[in-house]
Structure 1
Amino acid sequence: MYAYPWGDDGAELRPLEPWPAEEFLTHMDRGREFIGQHIGLPDLVTDLESSRSFLQSYAEKAAADTGRIYGIRADGTLVGGVLFRTMDVEHGNAEAGCWLEPSAVGKGLVTRAGRMIIDWAIEERGIHRVEWQVWAANEASIAVARRLGMTKDGVLRESYPYRGKRHDVEVWSVLAPEWRAGEQAS
């Protein structure tokens, strides 16, 4: 398997595949409460079978070119991830997302990983618009969208039913020309 190391802090980005399902479940168990504050991933990955099934669904998306999932590692330990929940290459649209366990917060890992996958999607796959949907109360994820140079498109009011309550979702996006201009300015 290949990895993309960044900097000298031991962080790297790697595709997540079905075979390390036990490691993925262990990671999810470490961060279950924290991650579950804003996204449903911990509710989907509850045992080894569901962990393997979740990762297999992304292996199938990767094979069909309709999504991707990558693990963020710090000093060899899986601590979070970024993904393209959806990817429509024909129409040039993708939806990116992220998660982290508490030990990895505040280190810039998601922003760096987000930059890598967005750059890949735009430059290698020809994606024109990358979208970031985030629960309106998730200030950390909104801050990542801003750091990635995204623009707030609007709010989908009470569109996210989660654990018995409906939540507002903010939609952020970056277009390929904006991305390229932002990267050149960096």
Structure 2
Amino acid sequence: MPGATFLEGDRVDLCTIETEDAEFLTEALNDPEVRVPLGIAEPQNETQHEEWIEEEVSSDDGFNLLVVAGDEPIGVINSNWMSERHGHAVMSAWIASDAHGQGYGTDATTTFIDFLIGERRMETVRAEAFAFNEKSNAMLQSIGMERVGTIPNWAFVDGEHHDSHIYAVTADQWRNRD
């Protein structure tokens, strides 16, 4: 069962990640439809995810939230790098393959950016997607993030080097988007 609801979107809730969620993380992140677009090349087991929850999720270095539709965990959204001084955050997200194409990632991302800009006073939010990950690139552009650059040959995935696209949105752009 997911942890406490921290943020409510239109279609999903963003909840605390609990130790019990390690099983979901293991199943989802070993699925090729999820791990390949994320550039994960090694198998991950439940113990590794329990350690990640203990070390990363429980630290004060950022936000890690479980994306939940109904009562079911379907993904993770986070910002593991934030500069309160400069007002910048880097965010990332993934959705389990059986929940793709239903607008959950879009709702989770817009809800999270609303929080980062509205409650954490971030001036700029940045995200990144491998060039071959067409769905993520399209979603980031559709919500008003602007592609501001490309890092060539950034990741070695599935036997090839791939570019990574960098996206950003300022607080003013976010508030004034269509």
TM-score range for the pair, normalised by the shorter chain length: 0.7 to 0.9
1:1-186 superposed matches below 5 A: 1-3=3-5, 4-7=7-10, 11-29=12-30, 32-41=31-40, 43=42, 46-61=44-59, 63=60, 66-162=61-157, 164-182=159-177, 185=178
In the alignment, is the contact (CA less than 8 A) between 1:93 and 1:128 conserved in 2? yes
How big is the shift at 1:60?
4.0
Amino acid of the structure 1 residue aligned with 2:120: R
How big is the shift at 1:15?
2.3
Percent of counterpart pairs with the same letter?
A: 22
In the alignment, is the contact (CA less than 8 A) between 1:136 and 1:167 conserved in 2? yes
Q: Give RMSD over aligned pairs.
A: 2.1
Report the TM-score, using the length of structure 1 for normalisation: 0.83
**CA displacement 1:95-151 (0-9 Å, x = unmatched):** 111111221111110111111111111111111111111101111001111122011
Unaligned ranges ≥5, structure 2: none
Going by fraction, where is helix more abundant, 1 or 2? 1
CA pair 5-119 structure 1, distance change in 2 beyond 3 A: closer
Aligned positions, number: 175
In the alignment, is the contact (CA less than 8 A) between 1:27 and 1:78 conserved in 2? no
Relative to structure 2, which stretch is displaced further, 112-121 or 90-99? 90-99
Amino acid of the structure 2 residue aligned with 1:119: D
Report the TM-score, using the length of structure 2 for normalisation: 0.86
How big is the shift at 1:12?
2.3
Unaligned ranges ≥5, structure 1: none
Amino acid of the structure 2 residue aligned with 1:2: A
CA pair 137-163 structure 1, distance change in 2 beyond 3 A: closer
How big is the shift at 1:165?
3.3
How big is the shift at 1:20?
2.9
CA pair 42-57 structure 1, distance change in 2 beyond 3 A: farther
